[in-house]
Amino acid sequence: MNTAEWAERALAEAAVGQEPLSREEQVLERIERARRRKPKVTEERVTMAHGAGGKASRTLIQAVFVDAFANPALQRLDDGATLDLGTGRLVFTTDAYVVSPLFFPGGDIGDLAVNGTVNDLAVCGARPMYLSAGFVLEEGFPVADLRRITASMAAAAERAGVRVVTGDTKVVQRGKADGCYVTTSGIGALERPVTLGESRVRPGDAVIVSGPVGEHGVTVMIARGELDIEADLTSDTAPVHEAVAALLDAVPVRMMRDATRGGVATILNEIAVGAGLAVTAGERAIPVRPVVSGACELLGLDPLYVACEGRFVAVVDGDHAAAAVRALRRHPVSEGAAVVGTVEAGPPGMVLLKTASGGTRIVDLLVGDPLPRIC
């Protein structure tokens, strides 16, 4: 049953019983009506929110890109496209990186770009193999910085067991870029006979987060120096392919996604909407380091929406939740893994968060961009 059918049944049941819609049902119906609308970009110009990974991003992707390039592989809106070349299945993915500043505690645009592409391949179930790198450089960019970035990319590639095999460089005039933008694409081989995706998710499944959330986003915000905050915090940028492989070997996995732009909250929404089911999560169960929650409070941010670059969300068979967490905790990159919620039948497409204070709130996609150019 999809969300529309669910809402209709709620309406029908209310009609049969001659009962007016409850206040909650009215709210849900209004939300549902908004969600059913065909995505439409109402703005005439691109805004920062179109790049933030939330509502506006999703609308732009669906109304412009998916509409133009209509094909099944793209429509799935996965982290990578699964392709069959006749000789074997592979995953193909791409990401543009515009992080500011280029260098931050724990990483830089170089290892961020490599790890991000490695992780997109990994959460699609593939073994990361080959990367490409396209650079847009601003005239006047220090060659020494470019060397730092490429050295960092090479080290990250080495660590993840992938090779940067092809690339391109363009230079634009001063003021037409911000130092250096990198777009990495990646190819991985799908060697396991698993099929992953929201459509595999079932009520009763467990939702797992691989470690404490929000460290990358908060680190970059602080590194910008616009905020008078100091915190002993480094980016969580790291390759997760080994942890993912261990998880796939240990338990039946339904789907995985890495929690970058838009954070864990966005992924939970993608799961709920994609599966046509509900995700119920416990606020206290989601691991957040005190330094991150403290900084988020000062910054007016919800850590659930803050980007991670070395964390992923996995949905696994509920009976194997404990085994999944055990398998993940054996790897340093996911030693903080925890079950954060469960999948339920309804309300479909909704993420409900049990708050620390005992209430329940709806966690929706982000509106606007509180954290521009975080990756």
Rounded-to-integer distance, Cα 3 and Cα 8, Å: 9
Q: Is residue 151 a contact residue for its own copies (CB under 8 A)?
A: yes
Q: Is 28 a binder of its own copies (CB under 8 A)?
A: no
- Considering the rule CB under 8 A, would residue 361 count as an interface residue with its own copies? no
The dihedral formed by the CA atoms of 216, 221, 227 and 230, expressed in degrees to the nearest 10: 20
| One-letter amino acid of 10 | A
Segment interacting with its own copies, rule: CB under 8 A, options 149-157, 207-215, 280-288, 342-350: 149-157
Distance CA 374, CA 248 (A): 29
Q: In the set 7, 102, 109, 153, which binds its own copies (CB under 8 A)?
A: 153
Say whether residue 48 binds its own copies (CB under 8 A).
yes
Q: Which helix (H) or strand (E) holds 56?
A: helix 55-60
With CA atoms as reference, report the closest residue to 32 among 359, 261, 294, 348.
348
Is position 11 an interface residue for its own copies (rule: CB under 8 A)?
Answer: no
The reply on whether position 368 binds its own copies by CB under 8 A is: no
By CB under 8 A, tell whether 226 contacts its own copies.
Answer: no
The tokens describing 138, both together, are 């601003």
Residue 92 contacts by C-beta under 8 Å, 6 or more apart in sequence?
A: 80, 81, 83, 185, 186, 187
Q: Which residue has the tokens 């797992």?
A: 208
Contacts of 109 (CB under 8 A, 6+ apart): 97, 99, 102, 103, 149, 180, 182
Among 17, 45, 228, 290, contact with its own copies (rule: CB under 8 A): 45
Q: Judged by CB under 8 A, how many residues of this single chain contact its own copies?
A: 85
Smallest distance from the beta carbon of 114 to its own copies, in angstroms?
10
Q: Return d(Cα 42, Cα 40) in angstroms, integer.
A: 6
Q: At what angle do helices 109-123 and 143-160 cross, to 10 degrees?
A: 30
Distance CA 97, CA 110 (A): 9
51 binds its own copies (CB under 8 A): yes
Q: How far is the CB of 322 from its own copies (least distance, A)?
A: 34
Interaction between residue 187 and its own copies (CB under 8 A): yes
Chain-centroid distance of CA 205 in Å reads 19
Give the one residue of 104, 141, 305, 312 binding its own copies; rule: CB under 8 A: 141
The one segment of 22-30, 44-52, 212-220, 230-238 that binds its own copies by CB under 8 A: 44-52
Window contacting its own copies (CB under 8 A); options: 129-137, 203-211, 292-300, 323-331 = 129-137
Q: By CB under 8 A, is residue 97 in contact with its own copies?
A: yes
* Shortest Å, Cβ 80 to its own copies: 6
Considering the complex, state which of residue 13 and residue 67 has its C-beta at the smaller distance from its own copies. 67
If one asks whether residue 194 binds its own copies (CB under 8 A), the answer comes out as no
Per CB under 8 A, the list member of 167, 197, 252, 282 interacting with its own copies is: 167
When asked if residue 104 is in the footprint of its own copies (CB under 8 A), the reply is: no
